[in-house]
Structure 1
Amino acid sequence: MFTTLLKEVGRGKRGARDLTYEEALEAADWIMSRKATPAQMGAFFIAERIKMESVEELEAFVTVCRNSAYRAPIQEGLDCAGPYDGRVKTFFASFATAFLLASAGLPVTLHGAKSLPPKWGVTLLDMLAELGIGKSQLTRDRVVQAAKATGVLFVDTEEWCPPLGELRGIREELGMRTVLNTAEKLIDFSHSPYLVFGVFHNTVFDRMSKLLTDLKYRRALIVQGTEGSEDLFIERPTRTYIVEDGEARLHVIDPEQFGMEATLPEKTEWSAAEQVETVEAVLQGTAHIGYVNQVLLNAAVRLRLAERAESVEEALYQCKALLESGAAWERYAAWRSSLLGEGTPSPIGSVK
C-alpha cells in the first residue's frame, strides 16, 4: 500500500529513510497513475523534499515518467534540459542556441510545459505563443515534421506525457519544487545520447552525476547556469560537471578564456515578447554583443560535448561563421514556418 511507503519517507528528517529502487518505482506508479489520493501525493512530495530524494528514487520517477510518455528515436542529438518553471531575470539563450547547433549539423531537442512553481517564469510555450504557435500547431506530427526538416524538435511535455498534465493541479497548489521537477527534465523524448542539464545548487552535482551515469547518456554536462538553467553565464565563470564513462569531473567554463566575456544590459524582468525579440535579434546578428556571445559560447560548448568539434575554440569559429552567414536564422525561420503551417520546408543541410 502507498501509505506504507509514505510512512518510510515521512518520519521526519532523522527518522525517514530512502526508498529502494523497487519501492520508489511502486511509489512513482501510484502517483503517476493517480491511484494515490491528492493528500497522499502532497504528503509524499513534501516528505521527499525534506528528506532529499536519493539517486534511486529519482531514477525510479524518471523510469515511470518515461514509461508514461511517447518517446521515439526521432533524431540522435542533444537534449536540452532546463527548468520548467521558466526564466524571470535572464535571457533564454538555449532557444537561440538550438538553431545555431542545428545549422552546425547537431539535432537538438527542447521540451517544456506551462509555467510551474516555484519560479513561475517565462517558458518556451509562452515564447511560442508570442509567435502564434499554440497547442493546435504543436501536434506530434507537425513538430516531428519540423524536426526532420530543420533539426530542432520541441516537445510539449504534458502532451507527450499526459500524467504530468494530470498532476499539474497538485503541483500548483503545493507551490514548491517536487521530485517531478527533476524527473520531467529527463524523459528524453527523442533518445538523445547527449544531454545538457541545468541545476540551481552545486550541492546536487554528485547526485545528478550518478543519476545521469545510471541513465546511460553517452556524455552529459551538468550546468549551474543562469536561474538554474543549462545556459552558461557570459559575464562570469560557470561551474559545470562533465559526466562520461561512469565518471564525473568538475569543469569551470570561463568566458574570458575564449575572449567572450561581456557585460549584459541591466534587466530585472523579461516578458515572453522580449525573449522572442532578443532571440531573433541574436540570430539576425543585431542583438547586444553580450547576448550574441552567450549564445555562441553555449553553442560551442555543446558542440564539443556532442563530439562535433575537437575543441571549444574550433566550435566557436564554426558557430561564428554560421551565425554571420545567416544559416542559424534560416533554420529558425524554416522551423517557425513549418509549425505555423506556412508550407512544408525541405530538409536543410545535413542534420543527422
Structure 2
Amino acid sequence: MNIIEILKEVGRGKRGARDLNYAEAEAAAELIMTQSATPAQIGAFFAAERIKMESVAELEAFVNICRKYTHRFPMQEGIDFAGPYDGRKSSFIATFATAFLLASCGIPVTMHGSAPLPPKWGVTLPLLLQEMGVTSRNMTRETAIHAAKLTGVLFVASEQWCAPLRDMRPIREELGLRTVLNTAEKLVDYGSSPYIVFGVFHNTVFEKTAKLMQNLNYRRALIVQGSEGSEDLFIDRPTRTYLLANGEVSLQVIDPEMYGLDSVVPEHNWTPTEQLRITEEVLQGTASIAFSNQVLLNSAVRLFVAGRVDSIEEGLYTCKPLLENGDAWGLYCHWREAMLRKEIKTGASRSETRMHL
C-alpha cells in the first residue's frame, strides 16, 4: 500500500475517513518515519489523522516503527516516566525530582524528552539539564548510559536515540499541531521498562490508552490525567488515573487529602531556571511543603505501580526518610556529576550496589 492510497482512506473528511488496520498503519508509519513519503504527504497524513483521531492500531504501529529504529539501554525491572514532549508552562515538573527519590529506593528510572515541540512549546526536561550545564554536545548516549550505570537514572535525549523523531522535527514545527507522534514518542521504551506512568490531557482517551498499553505488553501501567497532560499527580486536588495491572484496568482517583498531603501550590513563573531551583530545593529539603508533598505522593504511587509496595501509604513510609536523610539529594548530585562527565569517585555508590544494572 503506497502513501497515496493511505491518504485516500484517512483523508476523506470526518465522516468518510476510516481507521487503518494494523498492517496498513504499519506501512504508513514506515513510509513516514523513514521519510519515504514527501513532506507534503507526511503533513497531509498528520492533519488527516488529527481530524479523524488516531485508532489504537494506528498508535501502536507508530510506536513499533519508532522502536524499530531506536537505541536502547535496558534498565532491569525499571519504570518509565512518560511525560509530554511539548513541555510545561504553568506547573512544577515533579517527575524530575521524583526520579531521584525513586532511584534511591532501588528502582531504575528512565526519563526522556526533547527540545520543546508544538502545540505547547513549554519547558521540557532537556531545558532543565541545560540549566545544569548539560548541553546538547555532552547529552550523548554514552554519557547517559554512564550515568545510568552509576545511579539507576537514565535520561534519554530522544532525538539522539531515535533518529526518525529527529528527522520529523522540521515538519512537526512547521505544522504546529498535535500529531500521532505526540503519543508515540512517549512509548518508545528506551529502557525496556515493564512499568510506566503515562500522562494524558483528556479523560476521553483513558480507555484507548489503556488498550494501547495492553497491546504493548506493559506489566503494570498508570495512565494519569495530570498537570498539563503530564504524568504528575496534582497535590491540590484529586487526580483521575487508570491502573493497568494483571491484565485488568480500573479507574483510580488519587486524592492527596487521604494521605494528609493536600497543599496549596504557590504561584511561580515557570522558567527552566525556576524548575531546576525548586527541584533542587525539594531534594535538599528546603522547598515549599506543596512541592515536597507532590514529589512524595508521586514517588509513593510509582513505587506502588512498580510493585515494590502494597499500598500508597507504604510507599510514603518508604520514600519520606530517603528525602529527609539526603539519600535522594546525594544520588542526584552523583548523577549530575556523571552527566557533566566530571571525575567520578572510585568505588561503587550505594545506588550501584543496589541497582545491579
The question of a shared fold, defined as TM-score above 0.5 by the shorter chain, is answered with yes
Match of 1:331 in 2: 331
Q: Displacement, 1:246? A: 2.5
Distance, in Å, in 2 between the alignment partners of 1:212 and 1:89 is: 28
Distance, in Å, in 1 between the alignment partners of 2:349 and 2:178 is: 39
2:100–2:153 contact (8 Å) kept in structure 1: yes
Distance, in Å, in 2 between the alignment partners of 1:273 and 1:19 is: 44
Q: Displacement, 1:344? A: 2.6
Equivalent residues in 2 for 1:1-352 (5 A)? 1-267=2-268, 269-345=269-345, 346-349=348-351, 350-352=354-356
The amino acid across from 1:271 in the alignment is T
Distance, in Å, in 2 between the alignment partners of 1:51 and 1:209 is: 20
CA gap 1:303/1:206 in 2 versus in 1, 3 angstroms: same
Distance, in Å, in 2 between the alignment partners of 1:140 and 1:120 is: 24
Q: Matched residue pairs, number?
A: 351
2:75–2:108 contact (8 Å) kept in structure 1: no
1:148–1:347 contact (8 Å) kept in structure 2: no
The amino acid across from 2:349 in the alignment is P
Normalising by the residue count of structure 1, what TM-score does the alignment of the two structures yield? 0.98
Distance, in Å, in 2 between the alignment partners of 1:327 and 1:248 is: 34
2:116–2:124 contact (8 Å) kept in structure 1: yes
Normalising by the residue count of structure 2, what TM-score does the alignment of the two structures yield? 0.97
Percent identical? 61
Q: Deviations over 1:293-332 (max 9, x none)?
A: 0000000000011011121111101111000000000010
> Gapped runs of 5+ residues in structure 1?
none
Q: Deviations over 1:181-215 (max 9, x none)?
A: 00000000111000000000000000000000000
Q: Displacement, 1:114? A: 0.5
> Gapped runs of 5+ residues in structure 2?
none
Q: Deviations over 1:238-267 (max 9, x none)?
A: 000001233211000000000000001123
The amino acid across from 2:146 in the alignment is Q
Q: Displacement, 1:89? A: 0.3
1:149–1:348 contact (8 Å) kept in structure 2: no
The amino acid across from 2:227 in the alignment is T
The amino acid across from 1:107 in the alignment is P
Distance, in Å, in 1 between the alignment partners of 2:77 and 2:151 is: 13
Distance, in Å, in 1 between the alignment partners of 2:114 and 2:349 is: 27
The amino acid across from 1:140 in the alignment is R
1:196–1:221 contact (8 Å) kept in structure 2: yes
Distance, in Å, in 2 between the alignment partners of 1:132 and 1:11 is: 48
2:73–2:145 contact (8 Å) kept in structure 1: no
2:75–2:109 contact (8 Å) kept in structure 1: no
* CA RMSD in angstroms, aligned pairs only: 0.9
Q: Displacement, 1:121? A: 0.4
Distance, in Å, in 2 between the alignment partners of 1:128 and 1:265 is: 23
Distance, in Å, in 2 between the alignment partners of 1:296 and 1:337 is: 24
Q: Deviations over 1:15-73 (max 9, x none)?
A: 00000100000000000000111110111001001101000000000000000111232
Match of 1:153, SS state, is strand
